[in-house]
Amino acid sequence: MNLVIDAGNTSNKLAVFRKNDLLFLTSSDTPGFHKAVKDVFSKFPEIDHALVASVGSLTKRELDVLAIFCKVQLLTSVAAVPFKNSYASPQTLGVDRIALATAAYFNYPNTNTLVVDAGSCITYDMVNDYGEYLGGAISPGLYMRYKALHEHTANLPLLDPSPFVELIGNTTENSIHSGVINGIAREIDGVISQYQSRFQHLTVILTGGDGQFLSNRLKNTIFANSNFLLEGLNYLLEYNKS
């Protein structure tokens, strides 16, 4: 039984898998990480391997606590991967993007697959039908755009995303919502269209914390999967066991 941990910029997701089946999912902030780990192992004491992908604030102290319970691997850019990595600087490739490419490779073999991860940043990752990771793009995420407008201007307020957005904003607040949300949706649609013009029979996966919020605002056909990165981590753990 496997435990995979996605330690992000704002929270830590802990997922338990038996083979390829997701059995349990929880999340915690970093101060609550120790308790979350203990709770997971109290429910699933048969966990014998863990893989951690950290782009956030987990330290050696948290990893040492985890190692009390099972064998722990920390995902790095030099880990063995099942796909051909054609990234020009593989040593700089984020572990989150490695996991997403792995999930694309295993879930959609022999398929041109674009993964859009809408989190703190929006990442685009392309795996072609030869099982080759080509790279993609990184752009500011939803909350980052709201925060940038507030912090880099004198008078614009800091807002949370609104579920109701008009094209023409008739107040400053509504104008910000229109610019951020409509802008990000049109960006994603535009990027998908560019990939579709280059790759035949393209499958598009939308994941990440803001994926569900954005999914019904996109014109292109997508498959939403909020656990795609966790599935990729589990595939990597199984792959590196062998």
Per-residue pLDDT of 38-53, as tens digits, reads 999 999 999 999 999 9
Q: Structural domain boundaries of the chain?
A: 2-74, 84-143+172-233
Whether 2-74 shares its CATH topology with 84-143+172-233 is answered yes
Q: Which DSSP state fits 178? A: I
Q: Is residue 170 a known part of a binding site?
A: no
Q: Is 11 annotated as a binding residue?
A: yes
Please tell me the pTM assigned to this model.
Answer: 0.94
Question: Is the confidence at residue 230, as pLDDT, over 70?
Answer: yes
Task: Tell me: is residue 207 an annotated ligand-binding position.
Answer: no
Choosing from 96, 125, 189, 210, the catalytic residue is 96
Architecture of the domain whose range is 84-143+172-233: 2-Layer Sandwich (3.30)
Angle at 203 between CA 14 and CA 223, to 5 degrees: 50
Residue 120 is assigned to a ligand binding site: yes
Task: Check: CB of residue 134 under 8 Å from CB of residue 124.
Answer: no
pLDDT, one tens digit per residue, over 142-195 is 999 999 999 999 999 999 999 999 999 999 999 999 999 999 999 999 999 999
29 among annotated binding-site residues: no
135 is in an annotated binding site: no
Q: What is the pLDDT of residues 54-103, one digit of tens each?
A: 876 677 888 898 999 999 999 999 899 999 999 999 999 999 999 999 99
CATH of domain 2-74: 3.30.420.40
| For residues 197-217, average pLDDT | 95
In whole angstroms, give the CA distance from residue 1 to residue 16. Answer: 7
Question: Does 10 carry a binding-site annotation?
Answer: yes
pLDDT band of residue 197 (cuts 50, 70, 90) is very high
CA distances (Å), origin 54, targets 51, 74, 115, 120, 187? 10, 8, 19, 14, 27
Mean pLDDT value across residues 108-128: 97
Query: According to the model, what pLDDT value does residue 109 have?
Result: 96
Alpha-carbon span 126 to 104, nearest angstrom: 9
Q: What's residue 242's pLDDT? A: 67
Reported as a single tens digit per residue, the pLDDT across 26-41 is 999 888 889 999 999 9
pLDDT above 90 (res 116): yes
Active-site annotation holds for 96? yes
